Copies of this chain bind each other. A is one copy, B any other.
């Protein structure tokens, strides 16, 4: 089914204890699109770059089945740039710099050919821009998935709440869920967040996996136990891409299929962090994805016990 992905395209500069990279491909729309492209194509991308954005990366995304008609290229402007340093404990990150550049003027325009998209992902951008994407659609999508971050929770609360009313699914970090709902208990937080709009709340817990909470069910996806994590950047967006990619491919919004989508999301996220930037995502094979999905199953599967008494 048709899939629209809106978000950022960026130059990332990343330092981790295992090395550093400068001006590499990043941004929410990039990670989401590449991850989703392993499940369904075309992926209709909406985003903005400056004239400094390399033609080679656009060609690469097109080669993966990403439709770039919705990409705005602003002449004489610079692409969004972001730099971060991860500590020895990769759960801790310092932002080194944020140069919004083209993002300051970004006004998403949805090409006519995208306007009947059935599946929509709103990557992490300003909540009012996320809303503009949805408002330009000609047909109500089957599913709208949105991401957000603490910056918008703190400073753009009322805008964010307006956007949340449009979401079927919100994907959010555990600390952000706690902040948004003002409670340390994640289950309570999810229930409070549901009242703001989304009927599915997905809480990403980094190395502890992810939770999906709906009115009727709670599903716990484990994290894949990696000994070597090179760069956590893009893991959350790869999760979102794998999740929506699977849902769009199967066009099945049952609870059971959402659980599978959670595991495909976790699968893509687990690959993402194995190399810097999009390096690992770019070279994936279907066999690798399949094998890791199976490995996730083994990770949490246990047999029925014999009777207790």
Contact = CB atoms under 8 A, between A and B. Distances in A.
B184 A262 contact: no
A308 B256 CA distance: 16
Contact size class for A? 35 or more
Contacts of A293: 305, 308
B260 A227 contact: no
Contacts of A208: 205, 208-209
B184 A91 contact: yes
A309 interface: yes
A259 B205 contact: no
A186 interface: yes
Interface stretch (A105-113, A118-126, A156-164, A215-223): A215-223
A223 B225 contact: no
Interface in A196-213: 205, 207-209, 211, 213
Contact of A219 (B205, B250, B262, B302): B302
A185 interface: yes
Nearest to A207: B186
Nearest to A218: B225
A263 interface: yes
A93 to B, nearest CB: 13
Interface string A270-309: 0000000000000000100110010001011111111011
Nearest to A205: B208
Given A220-B225, A286-B309, 13 more contacts: A90-B184, A187-B227, A191-B227, A205-B208, A219-B299, A219-B300, A220-B300, A222-B222, A222-B300, A259-B302, A263-B302, A297-B304, A300-B301
